[in-house]
Amino acid sequence: MRIIRTLGVLACTLAVTGQSPILAAEVRPEADGKVVSADTVLRQMSRKIGSANRFSFELRREIASGHAGEDGLQGKTKIEVTVQRPDHLRARALVPGDTRILYFDGKQLTMTDVRKKVYSTVPMEMTLDKLPSELARIYGFVPVAADFLVSDFYEDLVWRAKSVEYLGTGTIRSGFLGLKRVRCHQVALRGDAADSEVWIAEEDLVPRRWISTVKATTGTEVIRLELSNWNLEVKIRKADFVYSPAKDVIQIPMMTEAEMAAAREAGK
């Protein structure tokens, strides 16, 4: 049962966590004299993604510390995400030696482990706006790239930050062999549980890099995301969000947080 739970474990730590509102949103003048606000840039990014009825993107995630591999979080993972609002999601994670896929169609959620040939399906009748919080409440995890699923993730993003700061602009390499250069706004978000640095492309206002330093009593965990191949008008088929298991694939139950807590208590 632990196998299937790992499929949905926070594959992308995309934002800071905490309970405090923003204290300050600093601005900084650019070389051309324009004054850029971190708050404005974050709002534009949220509006650009939130207004897209269907979109897809890819990301590469790297976890720097030795904790990689625990509870399903691999050190290096490539993830492909397709979204159709208001209630469809497909996320395909390529980890070393395996492929894990999540399907959601507004009525049920299915997660499958291709190599282990197992899958789990649970009823989840809701929109993408509610999916992350409901999965966290019932099953203790959030879906891949949860922040980008909701129609307005700006409010949630800044609610979890104690402060934001505009750091200026920088250039990252992208595309084939890194030959393309993308100029980005750099925004820092600081919180009680984590600090993040977000690189948002000037040209299309979508995130291209997201580095989170998660704080814990045992030390810090650095999670680095490189986002690419954004398509805000992707062509989608209904079949993209439907899972049809092969004959040799076994369905197993997905334990809730309450069931896992009871199992742990019984094992003491």
Domain 2-266 matching CATH 3.40.50.2300: the answer reads: no
* CA–CA dist 161, 256 (Å, integer): 29
* CA–CA dist 90, 167 (Å, integer): 34
Residue 179 burial (CB count, 10 A): 8
Q: Residue 43's pLDDT is what?
A: 95
Q: Residue 33's pLDDT is what?
A: 52
- Are 145 and 128 contacting, i.e. CB atoms less than 8 angstroms apart? no
* CA–CA dist 4, 6 (Å, integer): 5
Q: With the CA atoms of 59, 64, 69 and 73 taken in that order, what torsion angle do they form, in degrees rounded to the nearest 10?
A: -30
Higher pLDDT, 75 or 150: 150
Q: Residue 76's pLDDT is what?
A: 84
62 burial via Cβ count (<10 Å: 0-12, 13-18, 19+): middle
244 burial via Cβ count (<10 Å: 0-12, 13-18, 19+): exposed
How far is CA 54 from its chain centroid?
A: 16
One-letter identity of residue 23 = L
Tell me the CB-side half-sphere exposure of residue 63, using CA atoms within 13 A: 22
* CA–CA dist 146, 160 (Å, integer): 14
Q: Which of 42-51, 149-158, 176-185 has the highest mean pLDDT?
A: 42-51
Bridge partner list, 150:
none
Q: Is residue 170 predicted with pLDDT exceeding 80?
A: yes
Q: In the chain, what percentage of residues exceed pLDDT 70? A: 81
One-letter identity of residue 54 = R
Tell me the CB-side half-sphere exposure of residue 84, using CA atoms within 13 A: 14
* CA–CA dist 163, 127 (Å, integer): 30
Tell me the CB-side half-sphere exposure of residue 134, using CA atoms within 13 A: 14
Residue 25 burial (CB count, 10 A): 19
pLDDT tens per residue, range 25-60: 344 545 455 668 999 999 999 999 999 999 999 999
* CA–CA dist 188, 195 (Å, integer): 7
SS (H, E, C) 22-70: CCCECEEECCCCCEEEHHHHHHHHHHHHHCCCEEEEEEEEEECCCCCCH
Q: In the chain, what percentage of residues exceed pLDDT 90? A: 56
pLDDT tens per residue, range 219-263: 888 989 999 999 999 999 999 999 999 999 999 999 898 888 888
Q: With the CA atoms of 224, 7, 234 and 238 taken in that order, what torsion angle do they form, in degrees rounded to the nearest 10?
A: 180
